[in-house]
Amino acid sequence: MPDVKIMVCHGTSGLSAGASEVYKKFEEELGRQGLLDSCELIKTGDRGYFRDVLVDIIHPNTGRITYQNVKPEIVPELVEKHVKNGEIVKKHSAGKAYQDFFAGQKRIVLRRCGEIDPENIESYLEDDGYKALEKALTQMKPEEVIEEIKKSGLRGRGGAGFPTGIKWELCRTQETQPKYVICNADEGDPGAFMDRSVLEGDPHAVLEGMAIAGYAIGSNEGYIYCRAEYPLAIKRLKIAISQAKERGFIGEDIFGAGFSFDIKLVEGAGAFVCGEETALIASIEGKRGMPKPRPPYPAQKGLWGKPTIINNVETLANVPTIILRGGDWYASIGTEKSKGTKVFALAGKVKNTGLVEVPLGTTIRELLYGPGGGPAKKMRKIKAIQIGGPSGGCIPEKLFDTPIDFDSLVEAGAIMGSGGLIVLDDSTCMVDLARFFLSFTSDESCGKCFPCRLGLKKMLEILNKIVSGNGELKDIERLENLAKSIMDTALCGLGKTAPNPVLTTLKYFREEYEAHILEKRCPANQCVALLKFEVNEERCTKCGRCAKVCPENAIIWEKGEYAKIVKEKCIKCKACIEACDFMAIE
Amino acid sequence: MIEIVSKILENYKDDGSLIKILQQIQNDLGYVPKEAVDEVSRKTGVSPSQIYGILTFYSQFRLTPPGKHTLKVCLGTACHIMGGHEIFEHLKRKFKIMDNETTEDRLFTLTKVRCLGCCGMAPVIMVDDKIYGRMDISKTERLIDDLR
């Protein structure tokens, strides 16, 4: 065994910040110093903490130390001091924010992300990999597997929260053959990126979960439907599938138990609606991804008209651990009706962004001020969160003590969704946010049914009217009426839930709508048509940041002077508003 | 071109692989030209209108050739509130093109994309296959200068 282990994080975020250059530099430096044999240098996946390149060094003298913002230039110093002499290089080691980010987490799904090499099956096998599949195939009957999942209380992590065990059971009892297992890796919700990280950091866990699901329902064929926007996830899945086949964990007669299972990868072509299960099936069949009415449910008539279960990536990644450690163990985590942990994708106006896995029932406040570290900018105040993507809703600050579980969120007007959690502060305009979601859903509406195709467009028009300063009070009523009809009549989940962002912002932030309509004012200084682009000298601290970021040099500023915007040159790009910490530009 | 399309079509089976075939054509040619659609239709028996139905439904497909570099500006929720929209508008103004169009010198194609799943580094731009996080207008300007 090598004495020292060096792990370089190769997730999408690490790679964009130059992880491969850092890795190369380590190789070069270790080679130069003749240390390659006594060190293990590996590439890990994404651990969900977005601070450029993360490197961990495990040395017998120091234990495990994490370094952040690692650049190739500092690699020789790390090798010389830490790898060779066992001394921590304090100035580069990850600080308190990093510790806080991980302190309150309980990682089950993300356990191996950032810990193992996702492109090397050995790395997975060393960490209990495929042991759950072996246990299921050799020691359990399919019914017992389903029983264990039911006992765990696991509910679908993709959006609706349907109990996984019951879905499997419904499919198992169908007599038609063949049956299919589909892994929904079409993570289309803007603001959610946990599935990408799991696929990039621990792809075998998903394959193992699928094989167990196949055994449980009596299926020999699985599909992974992964969106095309995730090239790295697709690459790693391909590697994982071929390695698992080579080692016999996928294929004929797995573990000599007489069970065969094959997995195919299908690349999506870019359509949000394909996250809806019937649309996803149509897309795998090579058609336009348009939803169908349910029932019949896919568990009865799915892919090619055969019984099919569709589970989300995070759901499937939970399965091996549940089988190994037991349903009772899993059910001991979380709340009465929402068991286990959930991964949240924390982004927006918060200090620490990234993936946070916590037991269900954790309050919003604990999440934001624990791992999240509070607001991104000291001068700003967090006013709400948006959870559940375009189908979800906003929850205002006064409700931050709400526990995050399936039912409490619905009570507050939002949904769990896939767990995308965007933090909003006083510089976010809630009307503009609602408009953003409506422009998203009306763009992505498949066009099949009338309420969604035209209703959302109409709602968007009204919102555009309000943010451009032409709104009237009656528009609020029109929005509410349209929202209700669309929710009552649209065919699929996309349409039925699309008005939610408008309804929840109206419920909690009606005064912002009224300010736009009655005072022609955007309280958050975001809606271009309502902005004057003038510097408020009472707030301006004469720092000059606005002048530095202006792409048109339209801001006059000299040291010790108030900034001044030359209106003729200003293109209203809002770069200055974004940069000003003091909200001095109105 | 037709040879490339015919070669890809050798693998066609009536098993849902039509989207895959079209993806391969776009991979090899950069877009799906009209001639390719005709050829696919001839070989598969699927009508051109149905093929266009698929091509225009999914945002991945292009019917016109892309420029040398494709700039995808993410307009997911996090990128929207962190200023992605402003970057997108700025690029449209700078290049004098609209969404999904290519500059006159054929250097840049600009498209918006709905969430690249890098929300922790918002706002995000993807140039060809590389992701750039925590962008703003001036960083984007520098990035474009480097690409020229």
**Which residue segment(s) compose the domain that B50 sits in?**
2-57
Three-state DSSP class for residue B23:
helix
- Tell me: do B36 and B82 sit in the same domain: no
**A345:B119 CB<8 A:** yes
Q: Return the closest-CA partner of residue A424 out of A482, A372, A473.
A: A372
Whether B52 has its CB under 8 Å from any CB of chain A: the answer is: no
Look at residue A520 in the predicted model and tell me its pLDDT. Answer: 96
Cα separation, A246 vs A121, whole angstroms = 10
Task: Looking at the structure, tell me whether residues B74 and B109 fall in a common domain.
Answer: yes
Q: Are residues B23 and B90 in the same domain?
A: no
Q: How far apart are CA A427 and CA A444, in angstroms?
A: 27
Q: Which one of A193, A269, A349 has the shortest CB-CB distance to B61?
A: A269
Residue where a domain terminates, one of B19, B34, B57: B57
Tens digits of residue pLDDT in B72-95: 999 999 999 999 999 999 999 999
Nearest to B37 by CA among B20, B49, B24, B29: B49
Task: Tell which residue, A323, A309, A263, A262, has the closest CA to residue A138.
Answer: A323
Of A423, A420, A394, the residue nearest A513 (C-alpha): A394
Residues linked to residue A355 through DSSP beta bridges, in sequence order: A345
Reduced 3-state DSSP string for A403-470: ECCHHHHHHCCCCCCCCEEEEEECCCCHHHHHHHHHHHHHHHCCCCCHHHHHHHHHHHHHHHHHHCCC
Residues B91 and B114 in one domain: yes
Q: Is B106 within a domain? A: yes
Task: Give, for all 586 residues of chain A, the pLDDT tens digit.
Answer: 568 999 999 988 888 889 999 999 999 999 999 999 899 999 999 888 877 899 999 999 999 999 999 999 999 999 999 999 999 999 999 988 899 999 989 999 999 999 999 999 999 999 999 999 999 999 999 999 999 999 999 999 988 899 999 999 999 999 999 999 999 999 989 999 999 999 999 999 999 999 999 999 999 999 999 998 899 999 999 999 999 999 999 999 999 999 999 999 999 999 999 999 999 999 999 999 999 999 999 999 999 999 999 999 999 999 999 999 999 999 999 999 999 999 999 999 999 999 999 999 999 999 999 999 999 988 889 999 999 999 999 999 999 999 999 999 999 999 999 999 999 999 999 999 999 999 999 999 999 999 999 999 999 999 999 999 999 999 999 999 999 999 999 999 999 999 999 999 999 999 999 999 999 999 999 999 999 999 999 999 999 999 998 988 999 999 999 999 999 999 998 989 988 888 899 8
* Minimal C-alpha gap between B143 and chain A (Å): 14
Residue B87 and residue B139: Cα distance in Å, rounded?
10
Count Cα atoms within 13 angstroms, Cβ side, for A356. 36
Token reading at A523: 């309280």
- What distance in Å separates the CA atoms of residue A241 and residue A237, rounded to the nearest whole number? 6
Q: Is the backbone of residue A429 left (phi > 0), alpha (psi -120 to 50) or beta?
A: beta
In percent, the amount of chain B with pLDDT more than 70 equals: 100
**A229–B20: do the CB atoms touch at under 8 Å?**
no
Give residue A2's pLDDT. 66
pLDDT at A507: 96
* B43 shares its domain with B102: no
- How big is chain B, counted in residues? 148
SS3 A558: coil
Same domain, B92 and B140: yes
* CATH match for A430-518 among 1.20.1440.230, 3.40.30.10, 3.10.20.740, 3.60.15.10: 1.20.1440.230
Compare A190 and B1 and report the one with higher pLDDT. A190
Verify that B79 and B51 share a domain, yes or no.
no
* B20 near A CB under 8 A: yes
B25 and B73 share a domain?
no
Question: Which residues on chain A are in Cβ contact (under 8 Å) with B131?
Answer: 12-13, 15-16
SS3 category, A248: coil
Contact B17 A286 (CB under 8 A): yes
CB contact under 8 A, B77 and A190: yes
Whether A286 sits inside 8 A of B115 (CB atoms) is no
Beta carbons of A348 and A424 less than 8 angstroms apart = yes
Question: How far apart are the C-alpha atoms of A229 and B124, rounded to whole Å?
Answer: 13
What pLDDT score does A581 carry? 85
- Amino acid A363: pLDDT: 97
Q: Looking at the complex, does the CB of residue B120 fall below 8 Å from at least one CB of chain A?
A: yes
Q: Based on C-alpha coordinates, what's the Rg of chain B?
A: 17
Contact A574 B86 (CB under 8 A): yes
Sign of torsion over alpha carbons A316, A318, A323, A326: negative
Q: Is B82 in the same domain as B37?
A: no
Kindly list the residues from chain A whose CB atom is less than 8 angstroms away from the CB atom of residue B86.
573-575, 578
* pLDDT score recorded for residue A374: 95
Specify the pLDDT at position A50: 79
Residue located via tokens 């007007």: A413
Do B119 and A428 lie within an 8 Å CB cutoff?
Answer: no
For Cα atoms B15, A231, B7, give the angle at the middle one, nearest 5 degrees.
Answer: 45
User: How many beta-carbon pairs below 8 A join chains A and B?
Assistant: 159
Specify whether B95 is located in the same domain as B48: no
Question: Does residue B63 fall inside a structural domain?
Answer: no
How far, rounded to the nearest angstrom, does the alpha carbon of residue A246 sit from its chain's CA centroid?
31
Q: Which two tokens mark B82? A: 């962190």
Strands A259-267 and A251-254, sheet pairing: antiparallel
Taking residues B52-81, what's their average pLDDT?
95
Please provide the CATH number assigned to the domain covering A121-331: 3.40.50.11540
Nearest CA in chain B to A284: B16
A4-94 CATH, one of 3.40.50.1820, 3.40.30.10, 3.30.70.1520, 3.40.430.10: 3.40.30.10
How many structural domains compose chain B? 2
Nearest-CA distance from B20 to chain A in Å?
Answer: 8
Instruction: Write down the ipTM of this complex.
Output: 0.93
Q: Do B86 and A17 touch (CB under 8 A)?
A: no
**Bridge-partner residues for B113, per DSSP?**
B74
Tell me the HSE value of B142 on the side-chain side, using a 13 A CA sphere.
6
If we measure between CA atoms, which residue out of A215, A249, A204 comes closest to residue A144?
A215
pTM of the predicted model, to two decimals? 0.94
**B53 and chain A: CB distance < 8 Å anywhere?**
yes
Chain A residues with CB under 8 Å of B45 CB are none
Residue B73 shares a structural domain with residue B142: yes
CB contacts of A229 in chain B (<8 Å) are 113, 115-117
In this structure, which topology does domain A341-425 adopt according to CATH?
A: Ubiquitin-like (UB roll) (3.10.20)
Q: Is residue B52 a part of any domain in this protein?
A: yes
Q: Which CATH number fits domain A531-586: 3.40.1010.10, 3.40.50.410, 3.30.70.20, 3.30.420.10?
A: 3.30.70.20
In-domain check, residue B64: no
| B110 vs B113: CA distance, rounded Å | 10
Give Dmax (Cα) for chain A: 80
Nearest CA in chain A to B18: A286
CATH number of the domain encompassing residue B135: 3.40.30.10
Query: Are the Cβ atoms of B86 and A287 closer than 8 angstroms?
Result: no
Q: Where are the domains of chain A?
A: 4-94, 121-331, 341-425, 430-518, 531-586
pLDDT at residue number B2: 84
